[in-house]
Amino acid sequence: MIIDSIKENSLIAKEYKELLKISYQSLSREDRKLIRLAFNTSVDAHKNQRRKSGEPYVFHPIAVAKIVASKIGLDATCIAAALLHDVIEDTEYSEKTIKDIFGRKITKIVVGLTKISKLSKEENVSLQAENFRKMLLTLNDDVRVILIKIADRLHNMQTLESMSSEKQIKIASETLYIYAPIAHRIGLYDVKSELEDLGLKYTEPEMFYDIKAKIEESKDEQDKYIKNFSRRISEKLRKDNLKFKINGRPKSIYSIRDKILNKNISFEEIYDKFAIRIIYKSDPDNEKFLAWKIYSIITDYYTPNPLRLRDWITSPRSNGYEALHITVVGPGSKWVEVQIRSERMHEIAEKGYAAHYMYKRGNQSENGLEEWLNRLQEVLEDTESNALDFVEDFKLNLYSTEIFVFTPAGELKSLAKGSTALDFAFSIHTGLGLKTRGVKVNGVMVPLSHVLKSGDQIEIIKSENTKPSSNWLDYVKTSRAKAKIRTALKEEKKVLAEEGKEILRRKLKQLKIKFDDKTVNDLGNFLKLKTSLDLFYRVGIGKVDNTQLKKFANYNNRLINFFRKRIRKTNKINQSEKEIINNYDQIVFGNEEEVLEYSLAKCCNAIPGDEVFGFVTINEGIKIHKKTCSNAVGLQSKFAYRILKSKWIDSTVQEYTSTLKISGIDNLGLVNQITKLISNSLNINIKKMNFDTVDNIFKGQITLRVKTKNILNDLIKRLKKINGIEKVIRE
């Protein structure tokens, strides 16, 4: 044990030296002194703690500090805060002690991280969503808190193996749902990609390892291609006295997985599995000129695709990202994406926030991250919006790309792609948005829901008599506009709800029904309303009458009797009934493999053999989803406490319905070949089939009855071998 302790201390000292060596920013003597003090404090505070993997706990804060120093590029203050980030929460060191040693600034960051850590342990979904909002408030309070939290999450994901499988899926889902999008929005592209890949490793391991293996197999071929592509243009770039380096960047596993699923194509069909980067030296004044010069040299040799040109140098993204992206026809007639960046632009792309502010020059106007944070603050402080709606709206806007439009005075404004005329009004000012009567785009009147595109010039026509309606929520895309519309609608709703509450009190008294919280809650559920506010509002506008109230009273009595009978019946399931259940394909739940009632979710249509999980709904019992379902990450992240561990138990009796979509080039006798193959396959019955041919291209849909996933997968492989069939996709 003494030897182990000596080894561990030696490793800890080695990690500390590496931390100083890899720091992105140059460290002064004072900086090193501060980091050493934070390091010693962290080692002392965590001296008796170990992680689930068995290693000393202090390795975790050191690893987080290394990510903060190298991948995010923060300063000594943040490196010190990262080393201390778990000290107040997990050790005997108090907030006051840390403040006495390190001062107010570092203590404020550590306290912010402690609050986030406590919030993330909440299990109730509404609290989780509300706490997510509170967590994001730290962005404006001190953005360093969220940056260190992202580093903390990245290291947790890198060491997730020691957790139980349930914890792995919950943490990975939360990472994909919240942390990766925030890293993307702040401009931490490398961190974002690693978070996504690690998230996929635990949520869809089969897909992850399959793509990873294929990337590794094609690496040598890819390296040769990049070398061949670069050879010709390198000579010309050198002749023009440009100092540069060219390298290849493989697409992340997660982004390849997205293309496979979204475009319904195979790995081999993805043409842009990597991008080529040209990073050049330049003084600030010549950056743009040299970028277009390099563009000109490349397009002298390779034909560009004009539709795939992205100029983020003239109009940088709102998180500060700058580059020129072009797609050209490279050697072997393959499409290749080329990213042209100066060294400064590359640093911003790699390090995001930190580099963005390090390179900020003179009185240059700041319209990147700071402007986004200011817009975000308004949305975050809108306590009226439903927390879950907020999370969904916020996520929608995190990943959105941008368009650039003009005010009537010619001022340039950036909006999320897909934004409408009404979104534009709210982006100018909330008061203008709420009073919008009409909109002109390029001088022509358009509906409020009109989707804008880059280059549009927009004029808002306002009226003091205009009030927002609930339809407006369908007209907007941005979270800011939705939040402001909801707030305005709720203000009006509250007034009517107050009147409705008194009306309901009188009506229930006449019907001799007690007016209390339980009655209000039960009546709300009976009418399928989410809140008491909704109920009072509907009464206030005359949508709830005495007939409905009488029906509610009768229903309530019947419901009580029904559940009494149901409980008695469940307790009396005899042995023969259990045998009947077990003879059929059945899903069992939890470690005890309990048999419970369930239904299959229509969004993913799981069949025996699929990896599945159960989700406890509010009104429809347990729903079964595939682990690869498009809704899986959201459900597992937001509603972890309602997820049930589930699996199929094998059977050879019952059949399940599955649908295949087939497309390709129409050949004589093709349909006959398909039906013959299916008919000759054991354990498969055709339930429904239709084919349609347009200009020699056919599309077909076949609904089958199969027993297991393996049988279906085997059929898909055999169908793909038929000459003329291009794609076979299971719905």
Catalytic residue numbers?
89-90
Residue 228's CB is within 10 A of a number of other CB atoms, namely 12
Report residue 608 CA to chain centroid gap: 29
Reduce the DSSP state of residue 614 to 3 states and report it: strand
SS (H, E, C) 17-81: HHHHHHCCCCCCHHHHHHHHHHHHHHHHHCCCCECCCCCECCHHHHHHHHHHHHCCCCCHHHHHH
How far is it, in rounded angstroms, from Cα 122 to Cα 111? 18
Question: 219 is written with which tokens?
Answer: 């690496």
- Which residues make beta-bridge pairs with 587? 648
Q: List CB contacts of 129: < 8 A, sequence separation 6 or more.
A: 387, 388, 390, 391, 638
* Of the candidates 731, 538, 475, the residue with the CA atom closest to the CA atom of residue 628: 731
Question: 104 is written with which tokens?
Answer: 């107010």
Amino acid at 696: N
Question: 595 is written with which tokens?
Answer: 């048999």
CB 369 within 8 A of CB 318: yes
CB 33 within 8 A of CB 79: no
Residue 222's CB is within 10 A of a number of other CB atoms, namely 15
Residue for token pair 């960046």:
341
Q: Which helix (H) or strand (E) holds 260?
A: helix 253-262
Q: What is the number of alpha carbons within 13 Å of residue 182 lying toward its C-beta?
A: 25
How far is it, in rounded angstroms, from Cα 6 to Cα 16? 16
Rounded to the nearest 5°, which phi and psi values hold at 697? -105, 125
How far is it, in rounded angstroms, from Cα 466 to Cα 11? 68
CB 711 within 8 A of CB 683: yes
Residue for token pair 């991250």:
369
How far is it, in rounded angstroms, from Cα 316 to Cα 402? 10
Question: 388 is written with which tokens?
Answer: 């879950």
Q: Which residues of 244-279 are buried (b: 16+ CB within 10 A; e: fewer)?
A: bebebebbbbbbbbebbeeeeeebeebeebbbbbbb
How far is it, in rounded angstroms, from Cα 504 to Cα 510? 10
Q: Which helix (H) or strand (E) holds 414?
A: strand 412-416
How far is it, in rounded angstroms, from Cα 137 to Cα 378? 10
- Work out the burial of residue 20: count CB atoms within 10 Å of its CB; fewer than 13 is exposed, 13-18 middle, 19 or more buried: middle
